């Protein structure tokens, strides 16, 4: 165990301008002790000779052929206390899911991500775990990878989660059903100083109206027929921790008024009681409805709307996240297969296109259910199109034009994207070679890949 306050960072990577700049930038922090190694073998040799132990290890994956599992396993065995960060030249959804499942803290694409993401990840890794003041009930298990993604919208979501976690601001999460709103609440709780305290979730739409007040605020013995004992409500249950109110738009107006008073007074009065009970909770609310439209229609109180708005986080629908679909699918299959002792099968190229062509009305929750069933149905070495049971037919990737007397011509943008996609496919995803062939800047191709307009084979 180190007694030094310095943060020791090892950087493993061949000599390049990027690595040189990275070393220089890391060394600007006086708390950092940075060591650079050209190969994994040299780093491990130094570890053996000097009995040194880094706090963080940054591995440039250039030329590592996807970072073989044995290399990562050896590093983790020899450096068990280090946080691992992997830098890659290009996006690879399955490689990222694989590395994250093996305990890598972050996977970053050098040409797509600002170095600031690495500084933020290192800063987060340096934060000591907050000791639990008392035993806390376990939060529901988060499906693996639900908040993974390289799409800019998901990067922004993660940044907002980190900002929210540093404060006690109320957070309002919006998004379609199945996008992972409760997981955002869990992530905020886990990254905050309240992590050792209770995380309590309640779905407003799932509780009968006549029981919801008692569920939220509790009741005294004899408060109503069947109240044979005092009951603590969710606000008291979550005291010191985080309370997640899902489907807040389903709360009827009478209870909205009571909730507003409770939030203003920071105390609840149990049903049938007279004594206010103070509480201290971080509040996260969520809805799949447009809360502004609900307020304008008179179905949601304006004063409660502004009380709850806090920091808004909007989750994008899965159909807008492009290649993130493949990243999530790979993570779900790996987690499910390992848990159920099934072989971890990759998706065939046709199955990958099949996944990308679907609209996912149930969003990430639906994708998880579909690929887990595919993992069960698959018999071959890969998961094939026939193993993927969508409830509705996916839109065809390239449908043939119907016979008509009116000719329909693709737009110039559509033709340009098709040419770019063909070049990427023919060159097996080599972005540099494709950019040279097309005579466009690499940044143009990377931007279109990141936005989901182009797909890596």
Residues 47 and 192 in one domain: no
Q: What 3-state class would DSSP assign to 143? A: coil
What is the DSSP code (8-state) at residue 238? T
- Among candidates 46, 79, 57, which has minimal Cα distance to 9? 57
User: Which of 272, 288, 314 is a domain's end point?
Assistant: 314
Q: What is the mean pLDDT of residues 278-305?
A: 92
Supply the CATH number for residue 293's domain. 3.40.50.300
- Name, in order, each residue with C-beta under 8 angstroms of 404's C-beta and a sequence gap of 6 or more: none
Q: Is 177 inside a domain boundary? A: yes
Helix (H) / strand (E) element for 59: namely strand 56-60
Residue 455 or 329, more confident: 329
Q: Compute φ and ψ for 415, nearest 5 degrees.
A: -65, -40
Q: What is the mean pLDDT of residues 423-446?
A: 78
Q: What is the mean pLDDT of residues 208-228?
A: 80
Token output for 233: 């409500």
- The overall average pLDDT reported for the chain is 79
Residues 158 and 299 in one domain: yes
pTM of the model: 0.58
Residues 84 and 200 in one domain: no
Q: Is the pLDDT of residue 118 over 90?
A: no
CA 67/CA 13 separation, integer angstroms: 12
Q: Is the pLDDT of residue 246 over 50?
A: yes
Q: Is 99 inside a domain boundary? A: yes
Token output for 23: 């070393």
Contact 326, 347 (CB under 8 A): yes
Name the band, by pLDDT with cuts 50, 70 and 90, for residue 451. Answer: low
Residues 235 and 300 in one domain: yes
- Among candidates 71, 13, 10, 82, which has minimal Cα distance to 46? 10
What confidence tens digit (pLDDT) does each residue in 24-65 have? 777 777 777 888 888 777 777 777 665 567 888 888 876 444
Q: What 3-state class would DSSP assign to 250? A: helix
Name the band, by pLDDT with cuts 50, 70 and 90, for residue 167. Answer: very high
Contact 84, 104 (CB under 8 A): yes
- Among candidates 102, 27, 18, 114, which has minimal Cα distance to 67? 102
Q: Is 147 inside a domain boundary? A: no
Helix (H) / strand (E) element for 187: namely helix 181-191
Three-state SS sequence of 355-379: HHHCCCCCHHHHHHHHHHHHHHHCC
Q: Is 200 inside a domain boundary? A: yes
What confidence tens digit (pLDDT) does each residue in 371-421 have? 999 999 999 899 999 999 886 655 544 443 443 333 344 556 666 777 777
Name the band, by pLDDT with cuts 50, 70 and 90, for residue 116. Answer: low
Residues 292 and 187 in one domain: yes
Name the band, by pLDDT with cuts 50, 70 and 90, for residue 143. Answer: very low
Least confident of 89-98, 147-156, 167-176, 268-277: 89-98
Name the band, by pLDDT with cuts 50, 70 and 90, for residue 1. Answer: very low
Name the band, by pLDDT with cuts 50, 70 and 90, for residue 315. Answer: very high
Name the band, by pLDDT with cuts 50, 70 and 90, for residue 137. Answer: very low
Q: What's the pLDDT at 124? A: 64
Residue 59 or 304, more confident: 304
Residues 160 and 290 in one domain: yes
Percent share of the chain, pLDDT over 70: 79
Q: Is 29 inside a domain boundary? A: yes
Q: What's the pLDDT at 348? A: 93
Helix (H) / strand (E) element for 333: namely helix 324-339
Q: Compute φ and ψ for 107, nearest 5 degrees.
A: -120, 120
CA 227-233-234 angle, 5° bins: 150
Q: Is the pLDDT of residue 197 over 50?
A: yes
Token output for 314: 């909007």
Residues 218 and 349 in one domain: no
Q: What's the pLDDT at 430? A: 81
Beta bridge partners of 200: 243
Q: Is 58 inside a domain boundary? A: yes
CA distances for 295 relative to 201, 245, 254, 304, angstroms: 24, 18, 15, 9
Q: Is the pLDDT of residue 161 over 90?
A: yes
Q: What's the pLDDT at 93? A: 66
Residues 302 and 322 in one domain: no
Supply the CATH number for residue 371's domain. 1.10.8.60
Supply the CATH number for residue 13's domain. 3.40.50.2300
42: domain range? 7-126
CA 440/CA 435 separation, integer angstroms: 5
CA 89/CA 99 separation, integer angstroms: 15
Q: What's the pLDDT at 101? A: 64
Q: Is the pLDDT of residue 235 over 50?
A: yes
Residues 110 and 27 in one domain: yes
Q: What's the pLDDT at 249? A: 93
Sheet holding 32-37, edge to edge: 32-37, 7-12, 56-60, 83-88, 106-109
User: Which of 314, 347, 369 is a domain's end point?
Assistant: 314
CA distances for 127 relative to 121, 122, 133, 155, 287, angstroms: 10, 9, 17, 20, 32
Residue with tokens 């609840």: 268
Residues 274 and 349 in one domain: no
Q: Is 287 inside a domain boundary? A: yes
CA distances for 355 relative to 97, 190, 349, angstroms: 16, 31, 10
Q: What's the pLDDT at 168? A: 92
Domain count, the chain: 4
- Among candidates 157, 202, 203, 204, which has minimal Cα distance to 184? 157
Residues 288 and 247 in one domain: yes
What confidence tens digit (pLDDT) does each residue in 268-287 have? 988 888 888 899 999 999 99
Report the C-alpha dihedral over residues 20, 26, 27, 28, rounded to 10 degrees: 120
* Percent of residues in the chain assigned helix, strand, coil, to nearest 5: 45, 15, 40
Q: Is 141 inside a domain boundary? A: no
User: Which of 298, 314, 330 is a domain's end point?
Assistant: 314
Residues 194 and 116 in one domain: no
Residue with tokens 């929750």: 365
Percent share of the chain, pLDDT over 90: 32
């Amino acid at each position: 165990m180190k007694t030094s306050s310095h943060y020791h960072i090892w950087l493993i990577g061949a000599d390049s301008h990027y690595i040189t700049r990275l070393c220089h930038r890391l060394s600007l922090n006086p708390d950092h002790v940075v060591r650079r190694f050209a190969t994994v073998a040299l780093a491990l040799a130094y570890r053996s000779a000097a009995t040194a132990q880094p706090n963080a290890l940054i591995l440039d994956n250039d030329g590592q052929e996807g970072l073989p599992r044995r290399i990562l396993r050896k590093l983790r065995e020899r450096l068990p206390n280090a946080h691992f960060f992997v830098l890659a030249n290009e996006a690879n959804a399955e490689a990222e899911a694989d590395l994250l499942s093996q305990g890598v803290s972050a996977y970053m694409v050098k040409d797509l991500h600002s170095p600031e993401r690495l500084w933020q990840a290192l800063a987060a890794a340096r934060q000591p775990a907050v000791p639990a003041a008392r035993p806390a009930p376990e939060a529901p298990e988060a499906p693996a990878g639900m908040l993974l993604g390289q799409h800019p919208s998901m990067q922004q979501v993660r940044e907002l989660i980190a900002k929210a976690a540093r404060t006690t601001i109320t957070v309002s999460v919006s998004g379609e059903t199945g996008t992972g709103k409760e997981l955002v609440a869990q992530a905020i709780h886990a990254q905050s100083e309240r992590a050792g305290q209770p995380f309590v979730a309640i779905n407003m739409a799932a509780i009968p109206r006549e029981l919801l007040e008692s569920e939220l605020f509790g009741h005294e013995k004899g408060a109503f027929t069947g109240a044979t004992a005092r009951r603590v409500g969710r606000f008291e249950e979550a005291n010191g921790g985080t309370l997640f109110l899902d489907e807040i738009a389903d709360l009827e107006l009478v209870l909205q008024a009571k909730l507003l008073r409770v939030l203003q007074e920071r105390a609840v009065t149990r049903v049938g009681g007279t004594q206010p009970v103070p509480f201290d909770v971080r509040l996260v609310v969520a809805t799949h409805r447009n809360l502004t439209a609900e307020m304008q229609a008179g179905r949601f109180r304006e004063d409660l709307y502004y009380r709850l708005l806090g920091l808004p986080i909007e989750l994008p629908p899965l159909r807008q996240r492009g290649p993130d679909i493949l990243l999530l699918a790979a993570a779900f299959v790996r987690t499910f297969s390992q848990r159920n002792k099934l072989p971890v099968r990759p998706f065939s190229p046709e199955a990958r296109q099949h996944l990308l062509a679907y609209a996912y009305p149930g969003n990430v929750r639906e994708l998880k259910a579909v690929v887990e069933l595919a993992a069960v149905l698959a018999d071959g070495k890969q998961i094939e199109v026939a193993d993927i049971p969508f409830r509705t037919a996916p839109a065809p990737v390239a449908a043939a034009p119907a016979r008509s007397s009116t000719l329909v011509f693709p737009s110039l943008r559509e033709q340009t994207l098709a040419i770019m996609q063909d070049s990427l496919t023919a060159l097996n995803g080599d972005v540099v070679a494709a950019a040279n062939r097309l005579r466009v800047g690499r940044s143009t191709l990377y931007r279109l890949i990141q936005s989901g307009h182009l797909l890596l084979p």
